[in-house]
């Protein structure tokens, strides 16, 4: 029987006692609502083939192949492989693969005009220690801003590219590295919950439109301090067979990146967007 435990007051719901291949409508609605309410939904104890993971993922929206072509599954481009091909030809650790997602708190897909609604991972191989995924709420971040800062960002637009100000594009093919920026409001109303969130990503934002460069950088630094509110954090400790989905419209996340490199940490990942007709931004 489906049981959902809401993990912290704000982020993380853990579901057990369900097989995502055989969900009735009532269970699906409960899972989806828990996800909207808690930003991150964990479903434990699954045993899935690739096509079954894709089929379940499509219930959340449209799956888009990730722009990092070199890390796509060779036969199924909608699936990104995390933690595969971790070693370079000379035997050194490839840090772009090993520490993917670990360089800072972020939200996925801000470099797209329609950013990712969700990212979903399935745990295929889990190391004996380390390798957690950390989550925080963008709603809590917005609510924690002083009133004056809320007013300063109201109506302000951020410009984003994949590599951000550091131009970190190692996982992109050379021909995909020079895309023009896209634009998103810094304070963004979630299209399904109606709640307001601080939407920005210090690793992908280039600038805040309409500000001189030094002011733009100062504002980005100031906002970064509010991204992670301690009471809104959830640290996921992976078990093999876990599915974890996070809502990129209202949560930040980060890989801990601290597992023994000689052990496998492998996930299947899908990037999910809102169907075009539903978008409101």
Of residues 265, 274, 266, 269, the one with CA closest to residue 129: 265
Query: Does 255 sit near ligand OGA (CB under 6 A)?
Result: yes
- Show the tokens assigned to 154: 């109201």
**Where does residue 273 rank: exposed (0-12), middle (13-18), buried (19+ CB within 10 A)?**
buried
- DSSP string for residues in 201-258: -TTTEEEETTS-HHHHHHHHHHHHTTS--GGG-EEEPP-TT-EEEEETTTEEEEE---
Q: How far is the CB of 3 from ligand OGA (least distance, A)?
A: 25
Within 8 A by CB and 6+ apart from 240, the residues are 123, 124, 125, 126
What part of residues 81-110 is at the interface with ligand OGA (CB under 6 A)? Answer: 82, 101, 108
Query: Does 253 sit near ligand OGA (CB under 6 A)?
Result: yes
269 binds, among Mn ion, ligand OGA, none (CB under 5 to 8 A by kind): ligand OGA
**Considering beta carbons, is residue 108 or 247 the nearer one to Mn ion?**
108
255 binds, among ligand OGA, Mn ion, none (CB under 5 to 8 A by kind): ligand OGA
Helix or strand run (H / E) with residue 189: strand 187-189
Helix or strand run (H / E) with residue 267: strand 266-273
**Considering beta carbons, is residue 53 or 111 the nearer one to Mn ion?**
111
**Considering beta carbons, is residue 101 or 158 the nearer one to ligand OGA?**
101
Query: Does 79 sit near ligand OGA (CB under 6 A)?
Result: no
With beta carbons less than 8 A apart as the criterion, state whether 136 and 105 touch: yes
164 binds, among ligand OGA, Mn ion, none (CB under 5 to 8 A by kind): none
Q: How far is the CB of 116 from ligand OGA (least distance, A)?
A: 9
Q: How far is the CB of 100 from ligand OGA (least distance, A)?
A: 6
Q: How far apart are CA 60 and CA 119, in angstroms?
A: 10
Query: Does 115 sit near Mn ion (CB under 5 A)?
Result: no
With beta carbons less than 8 A apart as the criterion, state whether 265 and 121 touch: no
**Considering beta carbons, is residue 153 or 205 the nearer one to ligand OGA?**
205
Q: How many residues does the chain have?
A: 281
User: What residue is closest to ligand OGA based on CB?
Assistant: 101
Q: How far is the CB of 4 from Mn ion (least distance, A)?
A: 24
Show the binding pattern over residues 55-94: x = contacts Mn ion (CB under 5 A), - = does not: ----------------------------------------
Within 8 A by CB and 6+ apart from 29, the residues are none
Query: Does 108 sit near Mn ion (CB under 5 A)?
Result: yes
Q: How far is the CB of 271 from ligand OGA (least distance, A)?
A: 8
Show the binding pattern over residues 122-151: x = contacts ligand OGA (CB under 6 A), - = does not: -----------x------------------
Helix or strand run (H / E) with residue 215: helix 213-224
Helix or strand run (H / E) with residue 35: helix 25-38
Query: Does 101 sit near Mn ion (CB under 5 A)?
Result: yes
252 three-class SS: strand
| Chain residues in the site for Mn ion (CB under 5 A) | 101, 108
| Chain residues in the site for ligand OGA (CB under 6 A) | 82, 101, 108, 119, 121, 133, 253, 255, 269
């Amino acid at each position: 029987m489906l049981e959902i435990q809401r993990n912290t007051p704000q982020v993380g719901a853990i579901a057990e006692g369900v097989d995502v291949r055989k969900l009735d409508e009532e269970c699906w609605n409960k899972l989806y609502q828990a996800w909207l309410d808690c930003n991150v939904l964990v479903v434990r104890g699954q045993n899935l083939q690739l096509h079954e993971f894709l089929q379940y993922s499509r219930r959340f929206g449209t799956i888009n192949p990730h722009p990092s072509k070199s890390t796509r599954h060779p036969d199924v481009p909608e699936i990104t492989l995390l933690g595969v091909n971790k070693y370079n030809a000379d035997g050194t650790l490839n840090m772009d693969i090993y520490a993917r997602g670990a360089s800072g708190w972020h939200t996925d897909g801000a470099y797209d005009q329609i950013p990712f609604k969700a990212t979903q991972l399935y745990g295929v191989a889990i190391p004996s220690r380390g390798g957690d995924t950390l989550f925080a709420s963008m709603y809590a971040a917005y609510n924690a801003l002083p009133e004056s800062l809320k007013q300063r960002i109201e109506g302000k637009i951020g410009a984003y590219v994949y590599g951000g100000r550091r131009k970190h594009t190692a996982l992109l093919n050379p021909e995909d590295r020079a895309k023009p920026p896209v634009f998103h409001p810094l304070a963004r109303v979630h299209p399904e919950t109606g709640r307001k969130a601080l939407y920005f990503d210090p690793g992908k934002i280039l600038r805040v439109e309409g500000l001189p460069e030094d002011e733009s950088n100062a504002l980005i630094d100031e906002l970064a301090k509010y991204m992670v509110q301690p009471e809104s954090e959830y640290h996921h400790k992976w078990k093999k067979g876990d599915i974890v989905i996070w809502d990129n419209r209202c949560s930040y996340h980060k890989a801990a990146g601290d597992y023994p490199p000689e052990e496998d940490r492998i996930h299947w990942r899908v990037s999910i967007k809102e169907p075009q007709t539903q978008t409101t931004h």
